[in-house]
Structure 1
Amino acid sequence: MSLLEAVHGPRDLRALSAPQLAELADEIRTFLVGSVSRTGGHLGPNLGVVEMTIALHRVFDSPHDPIIFDTGHQSYVHKILTGRQEGFPGLRQKGGLTGYPCRAESPHDWVENSHATTSLSWAEGLAKAYRLRGEDRTVVAVIGDGALTGGMAWEALNNIAVGADLKLIVVVNDNGRSYTPTVGGIASHLSTLRTDRRYEPTLKQIKQRVRSAPVVGGALYDLLHGFKTGVKDILAPQGMFSDLGIKYVGPIDGHDIGMMERAFESAKNFGGPVIIHCMTVKGKGFRAAEEDEADRFHAVGLIDSETGEPLTASPRRTWTDAFREAIVDIARADANVVGITAAMLHPVGLDAMARAFPDRVFDVGIAEQHAVTSAAGLSRGGLHPVVALYATFLNRAFDQVLMDVALHGQGVTFVLDRAGITGPDGASHHGMWDTSLMALVPGAHVAAPRDERRLVDALRTAVGVDDAPTVVRYSKDPLPPELPAIRSHGGVDVLASPADARVLLVAHGPFAHLAVEAADRMGAQGIPCAVVDPVWALPVNPALVELCGAAELVVTLEDGGVSGGLGAALALACQRAGVWTPLRHLAIPQEFLDHASRAEILGELGLTADDVARAIVDWALESTAAKVARTAVAEGPRAGA
């Protein structure tokens, strides 16, 4: 039996010798590469935290001592060591293990933490709760150097510093990367941090001499503080943390289990907040991942477990590919266009623009709030920023969109990748909230292009709007074929227009294709259905309201939340215009949806061509019956009846 097979929980680790622990680390890496290469998932981050996670579970008593991972994609080793090895064949698949901590899976998972920079706030709150309740528990937060580029982490550190008696340990996993090499001043500081054992003795001598000096009052404090700062800067440049009042330890080798155990034990016994700075190698033990500068192994699909090469055929052209090319052409034509992203330069497709115009693309780190308000400032300065994010991450900066961009009438374009149902990363990563949020923003313009041509048109239109926020959102799916319009009705694209159409189906984005398929099925059942794409969902086009007034039934179909999306906005516009045509909505329910493939989730939600056609046929029959009933009531009893 291998060592890994004998580990069913953290307690099984504590009887192992140092050589056995090293052997176990090797077995875990072999297991990870073999397993994740067959399912896909976050490989690089987990290969980098093997020894760290072993040390954590040998020193701390999980789940009594909570261990919180930020963002949580590096929790696979934690799952393995807490008895979930057998579930890895179903990792990120419907009904299987999630790719992040999950409270339903194990009591060892405290927070389903899959958005970055939040772990320290969770940990600070938990530690305060235990202090108030008189419980002797230590809280551990594991945060990457990339997440320390986010403002929320520093808000938490500011408050952690106030709690001198909080039993809280912050483990900084410093691998120099988030998705790509970490950027910003924090990253630069971490890369040069060193400790020196001369610091504490030297400071003690200075304190003794200052106390004996003939200086009193505030001057004594100023002099002491000046000495302390000077010595600290010379001997141990860790002032960023110690000035907050938090004990700093490190940097230490994050792949040396013994060294980390000693640091963790000391921190646990300290009785107050401690930061332990660990240096690790992302992708350690898998040569292809260690040597990959583009960080392609942060998250992988199906790959060869030896070479790291993809096993699936080259994917079809994606929406991100189309954006990557289009934004370079737009930037070349307009020198005022600049790009901003939050630590996702390559994933969102701004890398090509950064190569072509390096002075006009800004990666601000994992700091979406700063990205948006910085964009407002760039706009105020006469430029047009294009902020490229995953759709789910716009949630984090809603106040800035509302109060810094929209309130000030600034022209900022938001390009939202991975909009709608995304699939295996689960509830936190479905991009289904942005349309509901943007519907609350006065003056916002929102488009969901149905194909590449419409994407390019939408981007060109968006960067020409200089007095309001614009949003262009698209799916994670490959690009669909072009879907030309039959004609335009006041800016609304008509995609299908059978004679005597009684039903109007309004759809945009990838669901425009779904709507055309559903309309074909309805036509085969004798219910002609027209299909239109509003092109821009917000603001609602009066021409679309006019089309609704001419139909017997209107159905909206969208890859976003049902509350506040296209359907809700259209219903309100019709009401204000006095158009009372029955209107039904087909969209994503405002629920936290589990992980599964996109197709599986859409099938469960009834958002397939067959399901849509079936639902509309039922509604059309109900509408016809209601119309007949209303007519009978209006005409009253016939003469002679």
Structure 2
Amino acid sequence: MYIEKIQSPVDLKGLDLKALQVVADETRRAVLNRVSKHGGHVGPNLGFVEATVALHYVFNAPKDKLVFDVSHQSYPHKVLTGRASGFLGDVDDMNAISGYSSPAECPEYDNFEVGHTSTSISLATGLQKARDVKGTDENIIAIIGDGSLSGGEAFEGLSEASELGTGIIIVVNDNEMSIAENHGGIYKNLRALRESGGTCEHNWFKAWGFEYKYLEEGNNIEKLIEVFRSVKDTDKPTVVHIHTEKGHGYAPAVKNKEAWHWGLPFNLEDGSRPVRNADGTMPEVVACEDYAELFSDWMLREMKHDKTLIAVTAGTPTAAGFTPDKRKEAGKQHIDMGIAEEQAVAMISGMAKGGLH
């Protein structure tokens, strides 16, 4: 097994394309092993395995700096930076590895403690400015996706990266999903770019002053290596837009992307929950009412009597009980903001001022 021997990305450098694909396959199995036994983010990490292998093959971490948004896509990075035991070992080994980017765990490769969204570009611009002031030459790579572009700080980071005008690489991992479906005008442009192979007339990133490259085959290691090599050591703000598949390589996570964004332990063979105990018995399940279900059922009943009652969620509608069926039932009386929480709070204030509940 390759990944048991990989202590740092340097160990990838001498491998050929066939071996790199084996590394990707082993990394995916390691991620699945951890999340099936320990729980965690499933779909986002599975979709970014090949891109992580390619990034670490082309760039030279820790000199080159990778900044992950939310950390939903950081598990493969951890596997390839000396932490494979947290994905292959026993439960104690797994508990020793955070589900998020963490300098306390690995200061050499994890640049920031990150557990919330839309921050990677802003953090990366700080590294960009530090490099420019010191006169060093490292690549700065921000990785953003999984709906994070809907958060306002992402726009602020893009604005500043463009203003600085020096080399920064922003990898937009476009898996067509947030936690639930995407919401926000920017995703209309991402869809147009996907459908045109990155060539449509209106390009949001170019309008902001970025060099732009599109890769349709975002789960193809060979193609990923080519596009990352083409932007390595750039002296301009650059966006690499890759189209990936959330849950790639695990059929249940591909079939139901929202349900498999994150989850508790599961049976790896068929995706069922709960997993049996080590002695073969089933875990004790205590029957209880689900608050999210109770709340959303109550809201839907009240909405029928009060058309001014609006449910607002910010990228996690199911956490409030608004499953896809219930979102459809609520219709215009449910709004999902994507991950634009500040917009949600301000819009709620405006709606209340305008007479809505």
State the TM-score, normalized to the length of structure 2.
0.91
- 2: CA distance, partners of 1:22 / 1:319: 44
- Which residue in the other structure is 2:224 paired with? 260
Is 2:339 the partner of 1:366?
A: yes
Instruction: Provide, for residues 528-549 of structure 1, a one-character-per-residue CA deviation record: whole Å limited to 9, x for no partner.
Output: xxxxxxxxxxxxxxxxxxxxxx
1:249-328 pair list within 5 angstroms: 249-293=213-257, 295-311=258-274, 313=285, 316-328=288-300
- Which residue in the other structure is 1:20 paired with? 19
- Which residue in the other structure is 1:134 paired with? 135
The 3 A distance-change label for structure 1 pair 18 and 296 is same
Amino acid at match of 2:264: G
Amino acid at match of 1:328: L
Is 2:78 the partner of 1:79?
A: yes
- 2: CA distance, partners of 1:281 / 1:54: 16
Gaps of 5+ in 2: 276-284
1:146-185 pair list within 5 angstroms: 146-165=147-166, 167-185=167-185
- Which residue in the other structure is 1:406 paired with? none
1:382-393 pair list within 5 angstroms: 382-384=355-357
Instruction: Provide, for residues 464-498 of structure 1, a one-character-per-residue CA deviation record: whole Å limited to 9, x for no partner.
Output: xxxxxxxxxxxxxxxxxxxxxxxxxxxxxxxxxxx
CA shift, 1:94, in A, is 9.3
1:103-114 pair list within 5 angstroms: 103-106=103-106, 107-114=108-115
Instruction: Provide, for residues 323-370 of structure 1, a one-character-per-residue CA deviation record: whole Å limited to 9, x for no partner.
Output: 122222222232221111111111222336523220111111110000
Is 2:3 the partner of 1:4?
A: yes
The 3 A distance-change label for structure 1 pair 178 and 196 is closer
The 3 A distance-change label for structure 1 pair 57 and 138 is same
- Which residue in the other structure is 2:97 paired with? 97
Is 2:242 the partner of 1:243?
A: no
- Which residue in the other structure is 1:52 paired with? 51
- 2: CA distance, partners of 1:118 / 1:19: 35
CA contact (8 A) 1:145 1:172 kept: no
- 2: CA distance, partners of 1:304 / 1:370: 39
Secondary structure of the 2:164 match is: coil
- 2: CA distance, partners of 1:269 / 1:87: 32
Secondary structure of the 1:152 match is: helix
- Which residue in the other structure is 1:442 paired with? none
State the TM-score, normalized to the length of structure 1.
0.52
Amino acid at match of 1:304: N
- 1: CA distance, partners of 2:110 / 2:302: 46
Amino acid at match of 1:126: L
Structure (1 or 2) with the larger CA radius of gyration: 1
Aligned residues: 345
- 2: CA distance, partners of 1:113 / 1:186: 23
- 2: CA distance, partners of 1:266 / 1:6: 29
The 3 A distance-change label for structure 1 pair 369 and 260 is same
CA shift, 1:161, in A, is 0.8
Instruction: Provide, for residues 422-479 of structure 1, a one-character-per-residue CA deviation record: whole Å limited to 9, x for no partner.
Output: xxxxxxxxxxxxxxxxxxxxxxxxxxxxxxxxxxxxxxxxxxxxxxxxxxxxxxxxxx
- 2: CA distance, partners of 1:8 / 1:302: 27
Secondary structure of the 2:223 match is: helix
Amino acid at match of 1:309: S
Amino acid at match of 1:45: P
CA shift, 1:90, in A, is 6.4
CA contact (8 A) 2:34 2:94 kept: no
CA contact (8 A) 1:67 1:139 kept: yes
- 2: CA distance, partners of 1:254 / 1:92: 34
The 3 A distance-change label for structure 1 pair 356 and 314 is farther
- 2: CA distance, partners of 1:296 / 1:366: 17
- 2: CA distance, partners of 1:140 / 1:42: 22
Secondary structure of the 1:308 match is: coil
- 1: CA distance, partners of 2:191 / 2:90: 37
Is 2:69 the partner of 1:70?
A: yes
- 1: CA distance, partners of 2:202 / 2:222: 23
- 2: CA distance, partners of 1:92 / 1:193: 44
The 3 A distance-change label for structure 1 pair 296 and 195 is closer
Instruction: Provide, for residues 271-291 of structure 1, a one-character-per-residue CA deviation record: whole Å limited to 9, x for no partner.
Output: 111100011111111111111
1:567-586 pair list within 5 angstroms: none
Alignment RMSD, CA only? 2.2
Range that drifts further, 370-379 or 85-94? 85-94
CA contact (8 A) 2:194 2:243 kept: no
- 2: CA distance, partners of 1:296 / 1:117: 22
CA shift, 1:373, in A, is 0.9
- 2: CA distance, partners of 1:315 / 1:113: 35
CA contact (8 A) 1:9 1:83 kept: yes
1:536-615 pair list within 5 angstroms: none
1:290-439 pair list within 5 angstroms: 290-293=254-257, 295-311=258-274, 313=285, 316-351=288-323, 353-384=326-357
- 2: CA distance, partners of 1:276 / 1:184: 20
Secondary structure of the 1:357 match is: helix
Identity percentage over the alignment? 35
Instruction: Provide, for residues 146-172 of structure 1, a one-character-per-residue CA deviation record: whole Å limited to 9, x for no partner.
Output: 11111110111111111222x211000
Secondary structure of the 1:161 match is: helix
The 3 A distance-change label for structure 1 pair 94 and 282 is closer
Secondary structure of the 2:68 match is: strand
CA shift, 1:14, in A, is 1.0
Gaps of 5+ in 1: 198-231, 385-641
The 3 A distance-change label for structure 1 pair 91 and 270 is farther
- 1: CA distance, partners of 2:337 / 2:217: 28
The 3 A distance-change label for structure 1 pair 238 and 128 is farther
- 2: CA distance, partners of 1:98 / 1:253: 30
- 2: CA distance, partners of 1:272 / 1:127: 11
- 2: CA distance, partners of 1:310 / 1:187: 33
- 1: CA distance, partners of 2:151 / 2:36: 31
Amino acid at match of 1:171: V
The 3 A distance-change label for structure 1 pair 238 and 58 is farther
Instruction: Provide, for residues 491-537 of structure 1, a one-character-per-residue CA deviation record: whole Å limited to 9, x for no partner.
Output: xxxxxxxxxxxxxxxxxxxxxxxxxxxxxxxxxxxxxxxxxxxxxxx
- 1: CA distance, partners of 2:237 / 2:175: 22
The 3 A distance-change label for structure 1 pair 243 and 113 is same
The 3 A distance-change label for structure 1 pair 59 and 314 is farther
Larger relative contact order (CA 8 Å, sep ≥ 6): 2
Amino acid at match of 1:261: I
- 2: CA distance, partners of 1:376 / 1:271: 43
The 3 A distance-change label for structure 1 pair 90 and 327 is farther
